[in-house]
Structure 1
Amino acid sequence: MQYHHLYSDDQGESHWQEVGIDLTERVFAPPAQGILVSEPETVRNVVFLRLPAGWDEPAHPSPHPQVLICLKGRVCVTASDGDTREIAPGDIWRMEDLTGKGHHTRVTGTDDFEAAIVQFA
């Protein structure tokens, strides 16, 4: 399991990296058997969003440290260094490009883009 991590460096340039999620077997929901699960992270909000087909925004930094989980549709996201990722159903995108040039997002295809966003505390 992994996620797409978008972050900004000290010069304000945003970059992508792929990050693996560490999973450890433990009892998560007693009395169920142990399962592979990650370490918990404290969150502040959960929001849902829909971007209409054809939506194309100006570049901007992420407003909060947050994780987007794509539910439907696809977006093309370009970091300020020019590296691009397609975010599709089932993909996880961690946004930490909080300063600098940010990223550009546009909805691709004919479907609206729908996602859940988990904002960190």
Structure 2
Amino acid sequence: MTADPPKLAYWHVWTDDEGVTHQARCELSDFVMRSMGGKAAPQWNDHLLTGETSVLFCVLPAGWIGDWHENPKPQWIVVVSGRWFVETMDGMRVEMGPGEVSFGGDQGAKTDAQGRVGHRSGTVGDEACALMVVQLDDAWSGARPGAFK
């Protein structure tokens, strides 16, 4: 059975040349059918990068709101449970739930006239939100949509 390679959608938070942050819907689309190694059966893999990373899990309490800030490092964020939102300086607010993915690449944002810089985020609803965060090497700082092709 031959199938077309899958695509995986994610939100990409990024900073433009004026220091204003935005969000763009992107897709990972360079999947290849092969084993991850050992005796693992072939599967669709999109190998983005290799290098220094940190992995952490966060649980944001119900009602939590993180005021305006940049992502501390370029990072992939996956919602494990609950819901959260990310709002960028351009006014776009995206809500995400379990299984949804975002890339935080808003390093280099500049404070605007309202005192906003980067993005703000918080929980949605009356339950906590659990996130898995994979922080990357600073070489990916300020990555723009389309950087992961």
TM over 0.5: yes
Q: Cα deviations across residues 27-52 of structure 1 (Å, max 9, x unaligned)?
A: 22343332110014234200111111
- Counterpart residue number, 1:65: 74
- Give me the whole-angstrom Cα distance separating, in 2, the residues matched to 1:108 and 1:43: 32
1:84 shift after superposition: 1.2
How many residues are treated as equivalent by the alignment?
Answer: 121
- Mark the runs of 5 or more structure 2 residues left unpaired by the alignment: 1-7, 110-116, 138-149
- Give me the whole-angstrom Cα distance separating, in 2, the residues matched to 1:2 and 1:90: 11
* Among candidates 110, 113, 123, match of residue 107 of structure 1: 123
- Give me the whole-angstrom Cα distance separating, in 2, the residues matched to 1:33 and 1:52: 39
Q: Tell me the amino acid that sits aligned with residue 114 of structure 1.
A: A
- Give me the whole-angstrom Cα distance separating, in 2, the residues matched to 1:32 and 1:62: 35
Q: Tell me the amino acid that sits aligned with residue 97 of structure 1.
A: D
Q: CA RMSD in A?
A: 1.3
1:12-91 to structure 2, matched below 5 A, reads 12-22=19-29, 23-41=31-49, 42-91=51-100
- Mark the runs of 5 or more structure 1 residues left unpaired by the alignment: none
- Give me the whole-angstrom Cα distance separating, in 2, the residues matched to 1:115 and 1:43: 20
Name the one with the larger strand percent: 1
The SS at the match of 1:58 is strand
Q: Tell me the amino acid that sits aligned with residue 55 of structure 1.
A: W
The structure that has the greater radius of gyration is 2
Identical counterparts, % of pairs: 27
Q: Determine if contact 1:43/1:118 at 8 Å carries over to the other structure.
A: no
Q: TM-score normalized by structure 2?
A: 0.76
Q: Determine if contact 1:6/1:93 at 8 Å carries over to the other structure.
A: yes
- Say if 1:43 and 1:70 are closer, same or farther in 2 by CA, change over 3 A: farther
1:64 shift after superposition: 0.2
